[in-house]
Structure 1
């Protein structure tokens, strides 16, 4: 049995509010992120807020997609342009015989799952293969038909290609930018090796969560998400915390495009740190991160001689770590030589905010 399932997830950022020049450093975020709350009865991460995404389905790797893209003027060379010229690539990007390139199929998974979970169809209709924007596009579906198609795709992933054919559109692969590759720690009962993509959209599209898997859908800025008291898995907390420092969606898109050119070259596997009075985790780039990691066996760094406070404040280190406390989760990372500390309150310890409420339908503001 395989130790984990391959998956893809999408960090979707939508422009919101004022448009800033890239030369201007805005004081507040001019974009919001999409997060969904997993159903309380889910067998994996019940009740936690996540980015849309899910496991790779055989329908996502089917070679029929080549023929479909070719019909839009997107030949195999254009599709191969999605493969970065990186020397080192994580295992998840290793393509298999008689399957699509992984750089294609993982993006299809992210786009299919995003539609299935919240009804946003990130597709294009133009037939000029060289005219792609770095901003992601979406195709609107009549609200009366959206849930019907979401249910169809949920029950059978091959229906996603049927949906694209019906609407004469194709997945907007080139606007999904490689962001990070997260592997769940060994202590998880279900493990996923997930390619995270980032896409920026010019406005917030209509969204409707699929009630079989999800309980809620929210658009908030990274800073707002860090204050809500929602419960997130560590990868989402790390990504949201780092995005609190990027206020402009234009800057975010530029960063994503530059990262995409290089491609994901490193696996992100959190390693547990045992402390005198608590638990922490370290990620790659942290000075304490092991030189050799164990993908299949439990690996714990024993620092039981120091306290949580000492672990947070220890100097002369590059930090990329999490500390779990009773009332909060602290994300600590070094950026441009400066240590940053982003605090996520634990559920039940956040201040009640009148603008944080459950919605299953969200529309452009």
Structure 2
């Protein structure tokens, strides 16, 4: 059962990054072959071997064309939370490696006082099960790890014996960023099928294999709440999600295998190549994915990204809900910090803004910009790019990326 709070469901997604080795490739061979078969030709750079060891690779999955939410676009692995992610069974499993004392590292000093089911309570901190004792910060990380395992087959987990190091050396949390661990076993394929069909089997699998989800290596990155207004039809969304985005850095890319249900292709590639392929209309992306990929463009390598994650780990990620502005020639998803973003936003009320000016005219009138840009004509709701020129609080500012409205699109 997924967690439903007011008018949205809680979800978690994982931006899984790795430092590419000199002889690695920037794509999943199986995925590329499938792309060719279906007639969708990826950007030429997707097909070449990468030799730049400085770059970051990130795991992305293409959603099925049959998906009700974001069909046929590339996304980070993730999905909706389940009651079992906050089950009391996790307490016993973590206690077996002495981790009950180290849950305190996830409780940040800048979080708001807790009130159960308060609509503005952070998805990271909201207490779902009073009895279980699993902190929200831990349960939502378990969700991100479980969903990544279901959708890609990549399991971020540690053997219980290896996890005990954090109990013996709690100072490790303060000395630098923690790298993620991937776990492999010949029986993972069978367990994956069981977890896909019943999320509560994830804790059963971990107990059977004597492992724990590597929650310590997941760093808060951001928090997106689906807007009330749909950017394409300007109608209410049937589905809304309060999604926690986590980032995790691992030492080498792990083989990903799409589940052929929700995901049909998988690839490891650099943010630069993904964005370039989107710009050239070879792959489809959703607004939040493009925004976060454009933030990653600021990091020369995974080590710089990892250090940044450690620097911001003492601050709770802010929740953002876009508010749409309908102007003469574009749809603008306004984000906090934008001059046009309303001072008071109700997360449950329609709050679209209508302006007679063009986008360029609005940029002159309201100089501070933090927005995702969509087209109005000839195809309404087509993603055009990210436009941001403000300094974000405790985060990195995305690179500006805008493409021409007249270009053909795969979206």
Q: TM-score range by the shorter chain?
A: 0.7 to 0.9
Gaps of 5+ in 1: 19-26, 352-365
Counterparts in 2 of 1:346 and 1:174: CA distance versus 1, 3 Å: farther
State the partner residue of 1:95: 127
Q: Any conservation in 1 of the 2:178–2:217 contact (CA below 8 Å)?
A: yes
Distance 1:347 1:226, change over 3 A: farther
1:165 aligned residue: 207
Change (3 A) 1:138 1:42: same
Pick one of 359, 365, 370 that aligns with 1:320.
370
- What RMSD in Å do the two structures reach over aligned CA positions? 2.6
Q: Find the counterpart in structure 2 of residue 58 from structure 1.
A: 83
Matches within 5 A, 1:155-234: 155-186=197-228, 187-229=236-278, 230-234=283-287
Gaps of 5+ in 2: 23-51, 114-119, 229-235
For residue 306 of structure 1, what is the aligned residue in structure 2? 357
CA distance in 2, matches of 1:278, 1:198: 31
Q: Could you tell me how far apart the structure 1 residues matched to 2:293 and 2:10 are?
A: 22
Does the CA contact (< 8 Å) of 1:164 and 1:170 recur in 2? yes
Matched-pair contact (CA < 8 Å) for 1:328–1:345 = no
More strand by share: 1
1:53, distance to aligned residue in structure 2 (A): 0.8
Work out whether residues 268 and 284 of structure 1, in 8 Å CA contact, stay in contact via their aligned partners in 2: yes
Give SS of 2:166's match.
coil
Aligned to 2:389, what secondary structure does the other structure show? strand
Determine which of 138, 145, 158 is the counterpart of 1:124: 158
Deviation string for 1:149-201 (max 9, x for gaps)? 22110101111112212221111111000111110011321111011111011
Q: 1:39 aligns with which of 61, 64, 68?
A: 64
1:279 pairs with 2:331: yes
Check conservation: 1:150, 1:210, Cα contact below 8 A: no
**How far off is 1:339 after superposition?**
8.9
Deviation, structure 1 residue 278: 2.1
Q: How far is 1:49 from its partner?
A: 1.4
Q: Give the conservation status (yes or no) of the 8 Å contact 2:180–2:248.
A: yes
CA distance in 2, matches of 1:81, 1:257: 12
Does 2:11 correspond to 1:7? yes
- How far the C-alpha of 1:345 sits from its partner, in A, is 7.5
1:292-303 matches, within 5 Å, as 292-303=344-355
Report how many aligned residue pairs link the two structures.
338
Q: Hey, what does 1:134 align to over in structure 2?
A: 178
Give the counterpart of 1:330 among 354, 372, 385. Answer: 385
Secondary structure of 1:260's counterpart equals coil
Q: Cα 1:94–1:248, aligned 2, differ >3 Å: closer, same or farther?
A: same
Asked whether 1:254 is paired with 2:254, we answer: no
The alignment partner of 1:262 has SS state of: coil
Cα gap change, 1:102/1:34 in structure 2, threshold over 3 Å: closer, same or farther?
A: same
TM-score, normalization: structure 2?
0.76
What is the CA–CA distance in structure 1 between the aligned matches of 2:137 and 2:400, rounded to whole Å? 33
**Residue 244 of structure 1 aligns with which residue?**
297
Describe the superposition over 1:205-225 as per-residue Cα deviations: whole angstroms up to 9, x where unpaired: 111111121111121111111
| Corresponding residue of 1:115 | 149
**Aligned partners of 1:44 and 1:78: how far apart in 2?**
36
Q: Which whole-Å deviations, capped at 9, do the CAs of 1:248-278 have from their partners, x for residues lacking one?
A: 21111111122221122x2110110111122
